[in-house]
Amino acid sequence: MPEAPSSPQPFTARAEPAALEDLRARLRATRWPDVPEDAGWSLGTDIAYLRELVTYWADRFDWPAQEAQLARLPRFRVRIGGLGIHFVHARAVAPAGPVLPLVLSHGWPDSFWRYSKVVPLLTDPGAHGADPADAFDVVVPDMPGYGYSDRPAGPPLDSVAVAGLWSELMDVLGYARFGAAGGDMGSHVSRYLALDHPDRVVAVHRTDAGLPVLTGDRAHLTPEERAWFEHVAAWGASEGAYGAVHRTKPQTAAAGLTDSPAGLAAWIVEKLRSWSDCDGDIERSFTKDEILTNVTLYWLTGTIGSSMRMYHANAAIPPEQLARRVEVPSGFSLFRGDIVRPPRQWLERVANVVHFDEPERGGHFAPFEEPELYAEQLRTFFRPYRAAASG
C-alpha cells in the first residue's frame, strides 16, 4: 500500500560549523583555470568576477545570518509519497475577505529561495500598500532533490509526478481548492496541476510556457509562432548546453560540482546573470549575499546532481502529455528580461488564456528580482477566483 502522508512538522536548518569550515577551506584552495584574454562572459562565467565572488564567499559571507533570515519564514517538513518534503507555509495576515490558498513552484537553479522575498507581500498585502482583500495562504515547497526536500533514491521524478505530490500536500494542509503559480520547472509543475487536478485548481499563473513542443504540422502556425520557434532553436544552439548535459549526463557534471564550490558557483552564477533583467551586470539583480545564499543552499544540501536529474526525467515525458491543452483559467506574465518569451498566439494554442501581461522589468527570476511587481501580477490575476476557492 502507498505510504500515508505524515503530519507536517516545524523545520529549522542549522549548518554545522565543520561544514562551513570545510566550505571555506575548499574555496581558498580553488584551482583556477586559465583565461583567454578579454574573454569576459563570452565563454561562460567571467573568471575575474568568479574570483571576486569566491573571495567574498570565503572571507565575508555570513551564512548563519542568511540562515536566520530564511528561518523567519514558517517552514515545515512532511512525508509524502515516501519522500520528506520541505515547504514554506505562511498564512494570510488580517485578511479582509476570502483567502485564496496558493502553491508556488520554483525552478532551476534555485529552490524555495526564489519566493523568499515575495511571501510577505502575498500574505500581508495591507502592510505593503496593497488591498488586504488580496491576501493569500502561501505554500512554497522544495521539489524533490532540491533544497531541504529529500532526494529520490531511485529514478528522478518528473513534473507530472511532482504535481501529484503537490496535490497531496495541499490536501494534507486542508486546502480542497487552490491556485497554482510558477516559472521555469515550476511552470511545468503548475501546468500539470491544472491538467491533472482541474477540480481543485481554480486558476493557474505562469511566467513562461516552457520550450515549445509541436505534434502537428508547423505550417499551421502563425508567422509569429514560426519566428518564435526559430528564436528558440537559435537560443538552444547558443545557450542550451547546460540543458543537454542535465538531460543526458547529469552525473558527470555532478561529480565536479558537488566537489568544488567554485565550480558550483560558476555553473549557477552564469544562469543568474544571463537569465535575469540585469543588462549584463549581475549585481543589478542580485547582491553577492543573495547569490551566495542560493548557491550555499545547493552546496550544504548536496542537491546539484539531484536537481539536474529532473531534466532527465522530464525529457522522458510522453509527447501526448506535452501536447495537452490547459483548460483551467490561465494567466501569463512574460517579464521583459526573461528568456524565450512566447507570442500570445502560442499561449492561446496551449492554454485557456484569460490574462496576459508583459511587465517592463524583471527576468526569469522575477519573484526575486521584482517581488513587488510579481506580487501585483498574482493579486490581479487571482482576484476573480477567490470565491471559487472558498466556495
* Active site residues per annotation: 184, 311, 364
- Using DSSP, state whether 145 is helix, strand or coil: coil
* Distances, alpha carbon 134 to alpha carbons 91, 137, 153, 193, in Å: 12, 10, 40, 22
- Using DSSP, state whether 158 is helix, strand or coil: coil
Q: How far apart are CA 337 and CA 364, in angstroms?
A: 7
* Distances, alpha carbon 39 to alpha carbons 42, 44, 220, in Å: 6, 9, 42
- Whether the upstream peptide bond of residue 371 has omega within 30° of 0, thus cis, is no
Q: How far apart are CA 24 and CA 379, in angstroms?
A: 42
Which secondary-structure segment (H or E) carries 291? helix 288-301
- Using DSSP, state whether 76 is helix, strand or coil: strand
Q: How far apart are CA 360 and CA 124, in angstroms?
A: 25
CA quadruple 374, 377, 380, 383: dihedral, nearest 10: -70
Q: Kindly report the backbone phi and psi dihedral angles of residue 104, in degrees, each rounded to the nearest multiple of 5, phi listed first.
A: -105, 125
Cell of 194: 491544472
Got the DSSP string for 221-258?
S-HHHHHHHHHHHHHHHHHTHHHHHHHH-HHHHHHHHH
Cell of 378: 498574482
